[in-house]
């Protein structure tokens, strides 16, 4: 049994001749929060969609507890909670019914269903809107509902795609606290974002994608230190993204831009 | 303003052409098994088929409209007053009703986004163009791409123009008049959409859309009734006499006057165009006024806890509960799936009382009617089994269950509803009441079982034909998929009308194998549904084999049952139908790379020897059960047993070509598919399916022959299997001579 929750090995996705993700190698340990950073089109969302089994890798693999994310999606999703960038819900389901439906589909029994839904509704401040149709929620509310859906079954890997988009500062603070608690409890978090300050604040390790490839990976301190003493993560990010060639091989050790 | 409208109009035409190419395109198969880009799209055989269907519909529409006008002219002649004036009033009323139907259907079915947050029209208002230009552009778009406008109004205007000016110019006049009417309909629809968006909640909009669909269909039926009614409506002359003259000067009546005044084309054209322009301008001003009142975003629905609790109590749990909740709350879906079948059935019975008489004459007609209603329900419901998930499809992928299993749950809901409808129709049809109980039970089993089978067929075809990886709103099912479903459902009629239980059983088994094969393909491809670039798994072609065996079985029986004089024509039609279904299936069923069948030439000699042995055993079996040449000739109609019938052509056709085709289907596709899918006991299963075409008394021998040929196929490929079968028939033919 591997000591990692998520192992991505040589993951590649091609759309015709264009490569969206090329030869990506990342591993996430239990309790670790790994941030995925990169400019638009770097391949963050494609990577996440391959990890959640929505897209087929062209080569390589992503594995959760040893299960292939694409071929063994049902087994993988027992351990994974996924929050998409722009969650959409069914037209005629109320918020409470969405949560009920998700809990039923995850096979939770009636007692644990009620307990978990109650706890998440309170924690994410969803109570007021539960009787409205979810399709009419604001973007922030939809995110909170989708996050509740992702956490209902107690996943061991939480995949968050731009989780703070549309959230107000209060909800963002709740989310940060929740992520920290989950990580403390041993849940691995795979966190994709554009926002450098967020990544620096939340993540223990950061992987920077550029031009479909892994350009650098390490702790925020390692990334900052690799550039110059006193440099910020923003400086490090721009140095990696602006200067490194897309064709550079991704073989350097963690913490050093490759 | 004009430039902006032209740009939007061009955009509308581009959208229409993109939609057409998406609907009728097939993906070119490539042989590359691993990484590949988007497969190039080309227009497949579906395009000419759709064009032919479109021409057929247009011709039918013009004939129907001509018939309506003929009935109207007769009524006007027999009514008190000037015949021509009465005719113009009546035609104006008809055109007005058709216009209303176009607006209602456009509102009901033409804009799926209207009741959703993502309606794109408000986004256009952010462009640096005046509101009036944007609204005009939208009207141009609706005028050009509303299919119902052209399908409903053009036949009427063509028939009107032909009545006045029976020449080629009539078509141009009719197109001009239709364009004016269509623009007015587009402007009215836009005003209604903008107003609804402001005034009603999203749920209410969807409910109103459902009501509009229903009203639109009923209005269209009311217009068609004039032409299709079994007897001329006696109330029509009185109605025409009671209509006011002013009717002809209403916006929808002006085109009738304009078309009637063909002797002054410039004045008539100016009248029609001018009046339409005024109406469109007034409607646009009203729309702009509504827009000025505030942003067009749907209001929140008021919470109705009692209704919600009732729906929740009815719905149940899991995927089935979710589907039932959506059905009970979404009135558009409810109208399309639950109400329209009843309306269509009612109208068919109204215009064709002979249908009711026929259904009363025998249980088989009643059963066919019941199956048709059930098939309609499952086609409408299962057709949206994937597209109905909309933007929430991602949610299904987060559950620890196979997508196929979840879709299976949804199909079961629709199959139950369709089965219930079919059972109710069969139960209430007068013909079924007089039938003997065993016969009625058998028919009920065939009908309800058929509805379940066709629910899976419809769902599989819809899933395989939906655009992969597209946004939810774009995930439309190609029209060729619907044609394919209709063709397969039509073949099932053979099970209902079969005189003997064995044929009935065989048809049901073959149809079920088709559904199972296509559903298996859905399961195999469920991982690729949202990824347009995923490599499609290699596919053994089991689905094609199952469909081919059903088509050959039913059409073969139909040709054999045709009167002698009609056999050549029936055979040509059957071959044409086979080719058309094959091409449609190829376009729809999303076939991946297919392994080339293994062929070992060395095995052909062994296959011939084994086949000869099989032929001898079959003949021995025939003699052992005490049957003669006549039974043998009945069982093998293509083999020339009588010496005087034996010429080279017949021998080639009966002993070489027929077994080659048979083996290509049953071993080359069906058995190869079963083997590739690692189905247990694939060879006996394949032999069982292939023996269904033989008469029941020959089943033991046919099963043995199928099993042996299956073994030969596994060793030497399709050519060896065909040689074995041919050798068996040749031996039978030679030995049976004595």
Query: What's the 3-state SS for B270-335?
Result: HHHHHHHHHHHHHHHHHHHHHHHCCCCCCECCCCCHHHHHHHHHHHCCHHHHHHHHHHHHCHHHHH
Distances in Å between the Cα of B12 and the Cα atoms of B135, B139, B142, B325, B633 are: 13, 10, 8, 35, 62
Comparing C-alpha atoms, which of A2, A21, A3 is closest to residue A207? A21
Q: Residue B325 is nearest to which of A56, A97, A149, comparing CB atoms?
A: A97
* Residue B166: how many other CB atoms lie within 10 Å: 9
Give the three-class secondary structure for A38.
Answer: coil
pLDDT at residue B308, rounded to an integer: 60
CB contact under 8 A, A89 and B312: no
Q: Does B322 touch chain A (CB under 8 A)?
A: yes
Q: Dump the DSSP string for B209-242.
A: HHHHHHHHHHHHHHHHHHHH-SS--TTHHHHHHH
CB-CB contact of B298 with B150 (8 Å): no
pLDDT tens readout for residues B64-111: 888 888 888 888 887 766 777 888 888 888 888 999 999 999 988 877
Q: A35: distance to nearest CA of chain B, Å? A: 21
User: What do you get for the CA distance between the two ends of chain A, in Å?
Assistant: 29
Distances in Å between the Cα of B609 and the Cα atoms of B556, B606, B619 are: 29, 5, 16
Ranges of H-type helices in A139-244: 139-151, 169-184, 196-202, 220-225, 233-243
Distances in Å between the Cα of B316 and the Cα atoms of A117, B328, B390, B414, B415 are: 19, 12, 21, 15, 17
CB-CB contact of A203 with A223 (8 Å): no
Q: B465: distance to nearest CA of chain A, Å? A: 19
Q: Residue B35 is nearest to which of A58, A75, A105, comparing CB atoms?
A: A58
| Helix (H), strand (E) counts: chain A | 9, 10
CB-CB contact of A199 with A206 (8 Å): yes
Distances in Å between the Cα of B616 and the Cα atoms of B640, B692, B730 are: 17, 21, 10
pLDDT tens readout for residues A184-237: 999 999 999 888 888 888 999 999 998 888 888 999 888 888 766 677 788 888
Q: Does B36 touch chain A (CB under 8 A)?
A: yes
CB contact under 8 A, A149 and B397: no
Q: B375: distance to nearest CA of chain A, Å? A: 26
Tell me whether strands A213-218 and B25-27 are parallel, antiparallel or unpaired. unpaired
CB contact under 8 A, A88 and B402: no
Name the residue in chain A with its Cα closest to that of B201: A136
pLDDT at residue B514, rounded to an integer: 92
pLDDT at residue A59, rounded to an integer: 92
List, in order, residues 6 or more apart from B612 with CB less than 8 Å away: B727, B728, B730, B731
Residues of A in contact with B319 (CB under 8 A): 105
E strand segments, B596-729: none
Q: Does B202 touch chain A (CB under 8 A)?
A: yes
Residues of B in contact with A101 (CB under 8 A): 318, 321-322
Ranges of H-type helices in B397-478: 403-428, 430-433, 437-465
Comparing C-alpha atoms, which of B311, B319, B313 is closest to residue B413? B319
Comparing C-alpha atoms, which of A95, A188, A76, A107 is closest to residue A143? A95
Alpha carbon A211 to chain centroid, angstroms: 19
Give the three-class secondary structure for B114.
Answer: coil
CB contact under 8 A, B35 and A59: yes
CB contact under 8 A, A55 and B530: yes
pLDDT at residue B296, rounded to an integer: 53
Q: Does B398 touch chain A (CB under 8 A)?
A: yes
pLDDT at residue A249, rounded to an integer: 44
Q: Does A80 touch chain B (CB under 8 A)?
A: yes
CB contact under 8 A, A80 and B312: no
Angle formed by the axes of helices B542-561 and B501-525, to 10°? 160
The number of residues in chain A equals 258
pLDDT at residue A62, rounded to an integer: 94
pLDDT tens readout for residues A56-107: 899 999 999 999 998 898 999 999 999 998 898 888 888 999 999 999 999 9
CB-CB contact of A160 with A33 (8 Å): no
- The Cα A222–Cα A224 span in angstroms is 5
CB contact under 8 A, A135 and B395: no
Q: Does B302 touch chain A (CB under 8 A)?
A: no
Q: Which helix (H) or strand (E) holds B40?
A: none
Burial class (CB in 10 A: 0-12, 13-18, 19+), A54: buried
Q: A157: distance to nearest CA of chain B, Å? A: 12
Cα atoms in the 13 Å half-sphere on the side-chain side of A24: 36
Give the three-class secondary structure for B628.
Answer: coil
Q: Which residues of A, range 107-136, sit inside 8 Å of B by Cβ?
A: 107, 131-133, 135-136
Q: Choose between B254 and A179: higher pLDDT.
A: A179
Q: Which residues of B, range 529-588, sit inside 8 Å of A by Cβ?
A: 530-531, 533-535
3-state helix, strand, coil split of chain A in percent (to 5) is 40, 25, 40
* Residue B420: how many other CB atoms lie within 10 Å: 14
Residues of chain B with pLDDT under 50: 26-41, 299, 302, 473, 738
Q: A91: distance to nearest CA of chain B, Å? A: 8
- The Cα B718–Cα B671 span in angstroms is 10
Angle B247-B250-B252 from CA coordinates, rounded to 5°: 105
Comparing C-alpha atoms, which of B527, B586, B580 is closest to residue B26? B586
Residue A254 has pLDDT above 60, yes or no: no
CB contact under 8 A, B400 and A15: no
**Among all chains, which residue has been given the structure tokens 């955009």?**
B11
Percentage of the residues of chain A whose pLDDT score is greater than 70:
92
* Residue B379: how many other CB atoms lie within 10 Å: 25
Say which DSSP state A94 is in.
Answer: B
**C-beta pairs of A97-104 under 8 Å, 24+ apart in sequence:** A97/B312, A97/B322, A97/B325, A98/A134, A98/A145, A98/A149, A99/A130, A99/A145, A99/A148, A99/A149, A99/A152, A101/B318, A101/B321, A101/B322, A102/A149, A102/A152, A102/B395, A102/B398, A102/B399, A103/A152, A103/A153, A104/B317, A104/B318, A104/B321
Ranges of H-type helices in B429-541: 430-433, 437-465, 479-497, 501-525
* ipTM tops 0.90: no
CB contact under 8 A, B398 and A90: no
Q: B533: distance to nearest CA of chain A, Å? A: 6
Name the residue in chain A with its Cα closest to that of B471: A88
Domains and CATH numbers, chain A: 1-79+155-258 (3.40.50.300), 90-154 (no CATH)
pLDDT at residue B37, rounded to an integer: 39
B693 φ, ψ (degrees, to nearest 5):
-75, -15
pLDDT at residue B707, rounded to an integer: 92
A11 φ, ψ (degrees, to nearest 5):
-70, 125
CB contact under 8 A, A56 and B527: yes
Comparing C-alpha atoms, which of B634, B663, B660, B662 is closest to residue B736? B634
Q: Residue B300 is nearest to which of A76, A91, A132, comparing CB atoms?
A: A132
CB contact under 8 A, B38 and A107: no
3-state helix, strand, coil split of chain B in percent (to 5) is 80, 0, 20
Q: Provide the edge-to-edge strand list for the sheet that holds A213-218.
A: A80-83, A157-161, A188-192, A33-37, A205-210, A213-218
């Amino acid at each position: 049994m591997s000591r990692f929750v998520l192992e991505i090995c040589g993951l590649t996705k091609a759309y015709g001749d264009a490569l969206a993700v090329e030869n990506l190698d990342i591993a996430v340990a239990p309790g670790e929060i790994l941030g995925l950073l990169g400019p638009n089109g770097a391949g963050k969302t494609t990577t996440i969609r391959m990890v959640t089994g929505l897209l087929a890798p062209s080569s390589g693999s992503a594995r959760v507890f040893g299960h292939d994310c694409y071929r063994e999606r049902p087994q993988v999703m027992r351990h994974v909670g996924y929050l998409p960038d722009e969650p959409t819900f069914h037209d005629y389901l109320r918020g409470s019914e969405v949560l009920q439906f998700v809990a039923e589909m995850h096979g939770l029994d009636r007692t644990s269903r009620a307990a978990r839904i109650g706890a998440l509704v309170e924690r994410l401040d969803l109570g007021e809107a539960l009787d409205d149709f979810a399709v009419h929620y604001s973007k922030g509310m939809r995110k909170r509902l989708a996050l509740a859906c992702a956490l209902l079954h107690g996943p061991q890997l939480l995949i968050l795609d731009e989780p703070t988009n549309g959230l107000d500062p209060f909800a963002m603070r709740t989310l940060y606290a929740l992520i920290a608690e989950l990580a403390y409890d041993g849940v691995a978090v795979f966190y994709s974002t554009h926002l450098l300050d967020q990544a620096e604040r939340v993540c223990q390790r950061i992987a920077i994608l550029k031009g479909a490839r892994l350009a650098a990976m390490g702790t925020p301190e390692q990334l900052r230190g690799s550039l110059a003493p006193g440099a910020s993560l923003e400086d490090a990010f721009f140095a990696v993204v602006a200067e490194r060639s897309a064709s550079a091989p991704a073989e350097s050790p963690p913490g050093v831009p490759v | 303003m004009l430039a902006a409208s032209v740009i939007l109009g061009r955009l509308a035409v581009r959208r229409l052409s993109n939609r057409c190419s998406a609907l009728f395109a097939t993906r070119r198969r490539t042989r590359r098994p691993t990484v590949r880009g988007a497969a190039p799209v080309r227009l497949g055989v579906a395009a000419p088929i759709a064009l032919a269907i479109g021409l057929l519909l247009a011709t039918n529409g013009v004939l129907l409209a001509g018939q309506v006008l003929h009935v109207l002219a007769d009524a006007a002649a027999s009514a008190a007053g000037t015949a021509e004036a009465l005719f113009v009033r009546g035609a104006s009323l008809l055109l007005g009703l058709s216009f209303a139907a176009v607006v209602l259907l456009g509102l009901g079915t033409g804009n799926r986004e209207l009741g959703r947050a993502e309606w794109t029209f408000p986004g256009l208002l952010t462009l640096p163009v005046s509101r009036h230009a944007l609204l005009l552009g939208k009207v141009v778009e609706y005028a050009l791409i509303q299919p119902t406008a052209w399908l409903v109004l053009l036949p009427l205007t063509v028939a009107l123009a032909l009545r006045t000016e029976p020449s080629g110019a009539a078509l141009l006049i009719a197109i001009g008049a239709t364009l004016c009417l269509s623009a007015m309909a587009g402007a009215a629809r836009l005003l209604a959409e903008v107003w609804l968006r402001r005034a009603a909640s999203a749920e209410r909009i969807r409910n109103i859309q459902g009501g509009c669909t229903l009203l639109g269909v009923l209005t269209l039926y009311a217009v068609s009734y004039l032409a299709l009614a079994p007897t001329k409506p006696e109330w029509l002359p009185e109605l025409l006499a009671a209509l006011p003259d002013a009717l002809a000067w209403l916006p929808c009546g002006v085109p009738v006057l304009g078309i009637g005044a063909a002797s002054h084309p410039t004045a008539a054209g100016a009248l029609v165009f001018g009046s339409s322009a005024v109406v469109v301008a007034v409607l646009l001003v009203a729309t702009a006024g509504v827009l000025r009142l505030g942003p067009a975003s749907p209001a929140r629905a008021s919470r109705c806890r009692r209704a919600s609790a009732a729906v929740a109590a009815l719905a149940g749990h899991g995927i089935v509960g979710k589907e039932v909740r959506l059905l009970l709350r979404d009135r558009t879906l409810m109208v399309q799936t639950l109400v329209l079948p009843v309306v269509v059935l009612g109208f068919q019975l109204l215009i064709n009382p002979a249908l009711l008489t026929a259904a009363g004459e025998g249980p088989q007609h009643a059963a066919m009617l019941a199956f048709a209603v059930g098939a309609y329900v499952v086609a409408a419901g299962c057709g949206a089994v994937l597209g109905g998930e909309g933007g929430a499809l991602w949610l299904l992928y987060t559950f620890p269950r196979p997508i196929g299993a979840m879709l299976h749950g949804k199909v079961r809901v629709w199959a139950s509803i369709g089965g219930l409808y079919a059972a109710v129709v069969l139960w209430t049809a007068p013909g079924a009441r007089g039938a003997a109980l065993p016969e009625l039970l058998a028919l009920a089993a065939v009908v309800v079982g058929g509805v379940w089978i066709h629910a899976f067929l419809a769902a599989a075809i819809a899933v395989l034909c939906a655009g992969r990886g597209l946004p939810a709103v774009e995930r439309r099912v190609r029209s060729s998929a619907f044609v394919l479903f209709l063709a397969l459902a039509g073949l099932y009629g053979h099970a209902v009308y079969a005189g003997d239980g064995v044929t009935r059983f065989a048809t049901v088994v073959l149809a079920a194998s088709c559904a199972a094969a296509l559903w298996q393909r859905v399961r195999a491809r469920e991982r690729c549904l949202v990824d347009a670039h995923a490599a499609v798994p290699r596919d053994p072609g089991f689905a094609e084999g199952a469909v081919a065996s059903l088509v050959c079985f039913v059409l073969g029986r139909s040709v054999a049952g045709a009167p002698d004089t009609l056999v050549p024509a029936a055979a040509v039609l059957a071959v044409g139908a086979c080719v058309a279904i094959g091409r449609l299936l190829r376009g729809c069923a999303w076939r991946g790379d297919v392994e080339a069948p293994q062929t070992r030439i060395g095995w052909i000699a062994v296959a011939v020897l084994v086949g000869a042995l099989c032929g001898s055993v079959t003949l021995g079996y025939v003699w052992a059960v005490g049957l003669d040449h006549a039974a043998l000739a009945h069982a093998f109609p293509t083999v020339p047993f009588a010496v005087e019938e034996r010429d080279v052509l017949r021998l080639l056709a009966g002993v070489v070509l027929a077994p080659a085709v048979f083996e290509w289907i049953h071993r080359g596709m069906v058995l190869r598919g079963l083997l590739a899918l690692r189905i247990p006991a694939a060879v006996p299963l394949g032999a069982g399916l292939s023996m269904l075409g033989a008469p029941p008394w020959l089943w033991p021998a046919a099963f043995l022959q199928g099993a042996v040929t299956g073994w030969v196929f596994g060793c030497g490929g399709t050519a060896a299997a065909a040689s074995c079968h041919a050798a068996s028939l040749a031996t039978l033919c030679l030995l049976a001579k004595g």
